[in-house]
Structures are given as C-alpha cells and as structure tokens.
Amino acid sequence: MAENGVNSGTATFDKPKVELHVHLDGAIRIETILDVAKRRGITLPATTVPEMTSLCSMDKPGTLTEFLGKFNQYMHVIAGDREAIKRIAYEFVETKAKEGVIYVEVRYSPHLLANCRVEPIHWNQKEGDVTPDDVVHLVNEGLKEGEKAFRIKARSILCCMRHMPNWSMEVVELCKKYRNDGVVAIDIAGDESLNCETCPLHREAYEEAEKSGIHRTVHAGEVGPSSVVREAVEVLKAERIGHGYHTIEDEVLYKQLLEQNMHFETCPVSSIMTGACDPDFTKHPLIRFKEDKANYSLNTDDPLILNSTLDSDYQAAKQYMGFTEEEFMRLNINAAKSCFLPEKEKKDLLNQLYEAYGMINDTSF
Ligand SMILES: [Zn+2]
C-alpha cells in the first residue's frame, strides 16, 4: 500500500490500463477529507492521516454492512460542498493517471452527494443548495480539468441506489441531460435483496434508459445470488455486470452469459473484504472466469475503504490466481471493448492499447 492511493515502485502490470468499476465516493483521499473538514469547521474523531485511514478503511475481511458503515465516517464532510465535490473528481483523475490508467469510468450517486432537492438528505446534513443536478455538473468539471491536467480520459456512470427507488427516474433523466457531457451510463448499487419486483421504479428507470440509448450496468451477484444477475440481464437489460461472482452458481446462466460475451466488472480485493467471496483467493470465481476466457476487467471498486490501489488487485490476481502478463493484456483489451465510449473513441482507445502492448499487427486477441 502507498500514500495517496498511488503506487510507489514498480507496478505488477506496468502498461496502460482501463478501469470500469470504481466509486468516486469510495476513492477520496484521506488528506482531502481532513483538509475539507478543517475548512468547513467540521470536527472529526481523527486528525491525522493514519488515524483517519484506520477509521475509514477496513484492515481485514468483514461484512458488507461493516463496509457500508465506513461511508458514515466521511461522507458528511464532502457532500453538499461544491468545492469538495469538484476537488475529489479532479484528484481522482490524478490518482488514476499515476496508476497507469488511460481510460476510466467512475461512478457515483448524485443524490448521496447532494443536500438540496433530495429526499431524504443523507449523512445528517442540514439542507443546503447543492442539488443532484449540481453534483453531476461539479463532478463533470472536476473530471474535465483532471483530463486536461493529467492527459487521460475519464467518463462517469450515475448510480441508482436499490433502497431509494424514488431517485431512479431522476438518475436516468440526469444521464440523458449529461450524455454529451461526460456521463456514459446508468448503474444500480446497494442491497441486492431489494429486487425489481419489490422496487418496480428501478425497472421503469432502466426501461427509460434502454429506450433512450443510455448504457446500462448493474451491481449483481456480488453478495447476492445468481438470480440477481439473471434479473439484471433479463429485466434491467444490463450490458455489463458489476462483480457477478455468484453467476457461476447457475451453470446454465453462466454459460449463456459466456456465449453472449457479457462483461463482468470484477474487483478482487473488494470481493474479499466485503465477504462477497471466500477470503481464500485460490478459490476465487475469477479463476474460473480466466480459465473460461470470459470477458472481464480488474477494478478497485472503493480504494479508500479497502486501503488499496489498482495494483493491489493486479497483484492479488498475479500472486494467488496465476494471472500472466498475457492475461492482463487480454482483460484490458476486453475492458476497452466493453467500455461505454462511442464506437470511434472506443476504437482509438483499443488502438492505444494495441500499440502499447506491441500488438499492432497481431490479430490473436
Ligand atoms: Zn461497486
């Protein structure tokens, strides 16, 4: 692990990478939280980076509840503050550039960072003047400035929350409004036991997304069973699956998704720390994905809470799951092919990778 969420020393896979599954609000720098708290006059239970790190991150595998509890430690510092929201987006791009990422899709719930025109207002905030729409605008500004400064490409995905079905229609409307301004897709995150039968508003939002040509990914089969993955594909018309580890428990569905070339956004370190998968990496579903030449990517998910970097995930894959340089190249090419950029930009991204990987005249992938 390294300071600032940035690798020090040599990366496990020291070539350009693509990251598709990372939460902006789970990728904030500890220094920034402390700094913003000071400026806003918010008292935190910790005042140093090591103390605050141990409050905000997990040092051993736990439960998803424990994991989600970590957001309570710092979200009230960032939410509702224009400068802070823009800053975390800008710094996020810097971190990714240092990790060797050349294209990233970063996701967040605009509602969880707002303090106005949102019901309920989260994190015990008082009502303010930052609406979900303002949040998207601010994040876009931060990402765009970051792109210019650090010369990589960053796009965003807006998240619905499973326990907040009444936000979902607004999420898809924001995706439509900002589709030519950095937002590339819709996602749904949170408690997988809240399916679309219990919350039909999510289904309606995803129908609207499909109708409007908004790309769709869904957190499914992370902690929840394979039936959530089936619902994501069949009801929500997901084009990618966030995590999807438990898909392999339904051989028929798994085979079908392999045939469809469905993309799985896997997050190895996260999957262990949240209890989604067995803590023994040598039994990880990702090994099956690799053996079956499935279409998947490697991602950090929430590096702040996991106290990790993208290299931690690559290292786990190499050290415990037998990943080779070839497989790292293959999965990054698959990530690029499965990203939500328009075709022309996707082609450019792929060409950048082919060139960096020395595969310009190689059609084996
Ligand atoms: Zn996630």
Q: How far is the CA of 34 from the centre of ligand 1 (A)?
A: 24
| pLDDT at residue 365 in the model | 53
| pLDDT at residue 7 in the model | 45
Catalytic site residues? 222
Distance CA 177, CA 171 (A): 10
What domains lie within the chain, and their CATH numbers? 17-357 (3.20.20.140)
Confidence of residue 9 (pLDDT cuts 50, 70, 90): low
Average pLDDT over residues 48-69: 91
- On the 0-12 / 13-18 / 19+ scale of CB atoms within 10 A, 132 is buried
Cis? peptide before 61, omega within 30° of 0: no
Q: How far is the CA of 159 from the centre of ligand 1 (A)?
A: 10
Q: pTM score, two decimals? A: 0.95
Give the C-alpha distances (Å, rounded to integers) separating 122 from 32, 74, 126, 323, 327: 20, 12, 9, 41, 41
Q: How far is the CA of 267 from the centre of ligand 1 (A)?
A: 8
| pLDDT at residue 198 in the model | 78
Q: How far is the CA of 23 from the centre of ligand 1 (A)?
A: 6
User: What are the tens digits of pLDDT across the range 278-293?
Assistant: 999 999 999 999 999 9
Indicate the length of the chain as a whole number: 365
* 308 CB neighbour count, 10 Å cutoff: 25
Q: How far is the CA of 301 from the centre of ligand 1 (A)?
A: 5
Give the C-alpha distances (Å, rounded to integers) separating 39 from 48, 50, 52, 58: 15, 20, 16, 26
CB 213 within 8 A of CB 191: no
For residue 8, pLDDT beyond 60 = no
DSSP-derived letter for residue 301 is B
User: What are the tens digits of pLDDT across the range 81-91?
Assistant: 999 999 999 99
For residue 5, pLDDT beyond 80 = no
For residue 54, pLDDT beyond 70 = yes
Average pLDDT over residues 288-302: 98
Average pLDDT over residues 26-54: 97
Q: How far is the CA of 72 from the centre of ligand 1 (A)?
A: 17
